Homo-oligomer: A and B are copies of this chain.
Amino acid sequence: MSMKDQGIVVRNIERADPQVVKGLAACGVATVHEAQGRIGLLASYMRPIYYGPGIAATAVTISAPPCDNWMIHVAVEQVQAGDILVLAPTSPSDAGYFGDLLATSVRARGGVGLVIDAGVRDIRTLTEMQFPVWSKAVFAQGTVKETLGSVNIPIVCAGAAIHPGDVIVADDDGVCVVRREDAAEVLKKAEARVANEESKRARLAAGELGLDIYDMRGKLAAKGLKYV
C-alpha cells in the first residue's frame, strides 16, 4: 500500500470479463491455483461459513481499520452485479465486521459474497440467505464507525495481494485470487486441466496406478528409492 492510498474511494475500476469469471467458477479453487502456477491462494485459515457450490466474482477491495466497519458502508455503494467484497483490516482483528443487514444491502446491489480477513456474525441468517462468506473468524464482537479506510485500492488479504477488479475464486477448499490481466489465460489452462483430470479419474478408478499413468517408476529409482 502506498501513502497515497489512504482515505480514498476509487470509483471507476476495471473488472475482469464476466464470461471468464463464470468459467473460473466452474473450475474450482484447486484447479485454478494449479493452472496459474500455484500462486494466489489466501491463507488456509480463510474458511467458508457454510459448505456449498463455489463462486467466482470481481473484487471490490476494502482496507479497514481494526474493529471499524465504516468503510463497508462506503464500499457497498461501489458494488456492481457480480462483485464480491474483499476486506483486509490494517491490524489483525477477529471482530464481526459484517452481518445480515450488510449482506442484504450488498445483495440488493448485485453483490454475491464477502471475503474478510477478520470476523463475521449473524451466520445463521447469512446461511439461510445463502450469502457466502469466507472469513478468519466467526465472532459476534461488534465494531465502531470512527476512522477512515479506503475502497478499491490494492490490498493484502490473508497473505495475498489483491487489486480491485481481480477475480476471486472461492469454494470449500479456500480462496484464490486471479489477476484481472491473467484471467483469460488462466481459464484456458484451468479448463485444460479439468479435461485432463477426467480421463485420469477413469483410469485410476479402474485400478491403474499413478505410478504407471504418470510414469514415475524410473524417476523414483533414479532418486534412489528402495523397496525392502
B-binding residues in A (CB < 8 A): 1-11, 28-30, 33-34, 36-41, 43-44, 47, 51, 54, 65-67, 70, 73-74, 76-77, 90-96, 99-102, 104-105, 107-109, 119, 121-124, 127, 137-142, 144-148, 154, 156, 159-161, 171-174, 176, 179, 181-182, 185-186, 197, 200-201, 204-207, 209-211, 214, 216, 220, 223-228
Task: A67 to B93: give the CA distance in the assembly, Å.
Answer: 9
A172 x B37 contact (CB < 8 A): no
A181 proximity list for chain B (CB < 8 A): 2
A28 to B142, CA, bound (A): 13
- A7-B224, A74-B220, A147-B144 as given contacts; A90 in contact with B38, CB under 8 Å: yes
- Verify A140–B174 contact, CB threshold 8 A: yes
How many copies of the polypeptide does the oligomer hold? 6
- The listed residue with most B CB atoms (<10 A of its CB), out of A90, A139, A226, is A139
Question: Which B residues touch A104, using CB under 8 A?
Answer: 201, 204-205
When the two chains form their complex, are residues B124 and A171 in contact, meaning their CB atoms are under 8 A apart?
A: yes
A108 to B: closest C-beta gap in Å: 5
Residue of B51, B100, B173 touching A139 (CB-CB under 8 A):
B173
B161 near A159 with CB under 8 A, answer no
Tell me the bound Cα distance from A159 to B1 in angstroms: 11
Partner of A200 from the list B101, B147, B156 (CB cut-off 8 Å) is: B101
Closest 5 CB pairs of A and B: A44-B139, A146-B146, A73-B210, A140-B173, A105-B204
Q: A2-B182, A156-B161, A200-B101 are in contact. Are A146 and B148 (CB under 8 A)?
A: no
Q: Could you list 29 examples of A-B contacts with CB < 8 Å? A: A3-B37, A6-B39, A7-B225, A9-B225, A30-B96, A30-B122, A33-B140, A34-B142, A38-B141, A44-B92, A44-B138, A44-B141, A51-B123, A51-B127, A54-B124, A66-B67, A67-B67, A73-B214, A74-B211, A74-B220, A101-B200, A102-B210, A104-B205, A108-B206, A109-B207, A140-B174, A144-B146, A146-B147, A148-B220
